[in-house]
Amino acid sequence: MGVHGVALEVRGTPLGGEGLYEVPLLFANPLGIEALPTHLAALALSARGGRARRASEVGRPAALAGEGDELRELRDHSPGDPFKRIAWKASARRGRLLVREMEREERDVVWIVMDASVELWAGELGDAPLDHVVEEVGALSARFLRQGDRVGLVVSASRLRSWIAPAEGGTHGGVLAGALASAASCVDDDRSELDEHQVAQRVIEHARPLDPRGLADLRKGDLDALAARAEQLRARAPFAPRLPQAHAPREQILRHYLAAFGIECPPRVDGERPRSEETLVQVLEKLATEKPRASVVHVFAPAPGKPEALARAVTALRRRRVEVRWSLPALDTGLGGDPGRRSPVAGAVDEAVRVRAYTTKARGERLLRRLGVRVEVRAIVRRPPHPEAEAAAVAEVAEGGA
C-alpha cells in the first residue's frame, strides 16, 4: 500500500459555526507500507545467529530405519547386512551376530498450494476469504520453518502466479512473505477490470503531482510518451514489484507503475474459478513428479467442482506416499445489511445463497474425503448459519449421495 498524502478537514470550531474546509497535502516522496502475514513477518525479522537461534543442521529425527547418527535398535543379523554395522562387542556377549539399526534423520518437504482466484477477494476490506487464507498460509509456513522443515509455495489462479522451491530458514520465510503479499494482486490485465486507457488515466492522476512539469508537455492520448514518463517517475516509488501481466509492453509499463506505488486495481467481475481449477490440477500433477519428493501437500482452495481430474492428481500424489491436506476458505454468512431495513424478498435470496454455499461446501468435503484427502476446517465462520439453511444443505447432500 502506498501513502501519497493526507487531507486535513475541519468541520467545526470551538466558537461555533461549521467552518468547513479541507487542505490536501501530497507527499513528494510517497510512503510505502507493506503488510506481511503476521507469523512469517515475525520469523523473517527475528534475530538469527548463535546456537540458540540456529535451526538443526541435520534435521528432525524421524522414526524410520536407515543411515543416520542415532541408534534405533540392536537386531539379529540378516543376509545382506553390511559388516560395518555389526555390533561386535554386543554379539560376543550374547553369542550371536547383532547389527546396529540406525535411525535416519530427515526433514519434511512441505508444499503449500494457495488458490488466489479473484472471487476470494469478495467481502469487506481485510475480512475477505483470501485475507484469512493468506494469514493461515503464513502461520502454517512459519510453523514448518521453525521445525526445520523445507517449505515450498505455489500461488495459482487462472494461471500459475508464483512457484517458490522448498527451502528453510528465516530468510526463506521473508521470501514466502513477499510472495503472499504480492502474488494475489489484481494489477495484472487478466485479473483487473481496468483496460489500458483506464490504467493510463490512473497513472495520469497519480503522476501529475509528482512530475516537475505536471505532465503539461505530454499530448493528450499519447500513451507512449506517458509510459516513458511513468518509467522515469517509477524510480521514486517505494516498492520494487514483479512485472505484471499485460498484452503489450506499453501497458505493462503503466501497470508496473501502479504496482510500484501501491495503487491497486479493481478485480474482474466475471471471476476465474473454472480456469483456476484446471491450473490447480496441473499444479498437483507437477508436484507428484517433483524432486525431492514431498512429504505433505497442503492445499488452500475452495471445494473442487471437477472430481475426475482432481482424483487423478490426488491418486498420483498418494501413490508416492505424499499426504494431501485441504483447507477450505471461510464461508461468509453475513449477507445483507440491517435486517430491519431489508425486504422479505431480499431475505429469501440471502437464505437461498446460504443454502447453496453450505451445500457446495458439504459436497466438496465429502468428495475430498472419498479421495483420501485430509480436510481441515481452519477458517472461522463469522456468524452461525441459519438452522434451516444448514438443515436444508445437509438434506440435499444426503439426497444426492443416495
pLDDT, tens only, 89-131: 999 999 999 988 776 556 789 999 999 998 888 777 777 888 8
User: Quick one: DSSP state of residue 192?
Assistant: B
What are the distances in angstroms from CA 309 to CA 284, 285, 292?
A: 10, 10, 24
Task: Please write the tens of the pLDDT for every residue from 168-183.
Answer: 888 898 899 888 887 7
Confidence label for 298 from pLDDT (cuts 50, 70 and 90): very high
Asked whether residue 202 is assigned to any structural domain, the reply reads: no
**Is 137 buried (19+), middle (13-18) or exposed (0-12) by CB count in 10 A?**
buried
Please tell me whether residues 151 and 100 are part of one structural domain: no
If one compares 40 and 60, the residue with the highest pLDDT of the two is 40
* Residues 94 and 120 grouped into a single domain: no
Residue 95 lies in a domain: yes
User: Does any domain span residue 359?
Assistant: yes
Q: Which residue did the predictor score with more confidence, 80 or 318?
A: 318
State yes or no: pLDDT of 70 exceeds 50. yes
Question: CATH code at 323?
Answer: 3.40.50.410
Report whether pLDDT(329) > 90. no
- C-alpha cell at position 174: 521473508
pLDDT digits (tens, 9 = 90+) for 254-283: 999 999 888 888 888 888 888 899 999 999
Report yes or no on 292 lying in a domain. yes
Q: How far apart are CA 231 and CA 319, in angstroms?
A: 50
Q: Residues 141, 69: one domain?
A: no
Q: Which residues pair with 86 in a beta bridge?
A: 99
Evaluate whether residue 14 is within a structural domain: no
- Cα dihedral 198, 201, 206, 212, rounded to 10, equals 150
Nearest Cα residue to 236 out of 26, 6, 23:
26
**Residue 37 is assigned to a structural domain of this protein:** no
The predicted pLDDT at position 12 comes to 60
- With 0.85 as the threshold, say if the pTM is over it: no
Average pLDDT over residues 207-212: 88
- pLDDT surpassing 60 at residue 83: yes
Q: Are 305 and 280 in contact (CB under 8 A)?
A: no
Q: Are residues 296 and 353 in the same domain?
A: yes
pLDDT for 256 equals 95
pLDDT computed for residue 92 by the predictor: 92
CB 333 within 8 A of CB 271: no
Listed residues 53, 78, 105: the one ending a domain:
105
75 with 171, same domain: the answer is no
Does 227 have pLDDT greater than 90? yes
For 43-57, what is the mean pLDDT?
A: 52
- Answer yes or no: do 101 and 178 share one domain: no
Nearest to 199 by CA among 189, 209, 211, 191: 189
What pLDDT, on the 0 to 100 scale, is given for residue 343?
64
Beta 109-115 vs 296-300: how paired, if at all? parallel
CA distance 156 to 302: 12
Q: Do 83 and 125 belong to one domain?
A: no
The answer to whether residue 253 sits within a structural domain is no
CB 104 within 8 A of CB 69: no
- Rounded to whole angstroms, the Cα distance separating 200 from 207 reads 10
Predicted local distance difference test score (pLDDT) of residue 328: 85
Does residue 96 lie within any of the structural domains? yes
Lookup result for grid cell 488515466: 201
Clarify whether residues 76 and 143 are in a common domain.
Answer: no
Domain housing 326: 109-186+269-401
Sign of CA dihedral 92, 93, 97, 99: negative
Q: How many domains does the chain have?
A: 2
**What would the grid cell of residue 249 be?**
509492453
Does 73 share its domain with 128?
A: no
Whole-angstrom Cα distance, residue 5 to residue 26? Answer: 4
pLDDT of residue 376: 77
Residue 358 pLDDT = 74
Q: What is the pLDDT of residues 230-261, one digit of tens each?
A: 999 998 888 888 889 898 999 999 999 999 88
Are 77 and 133 members of one domain?
A: no
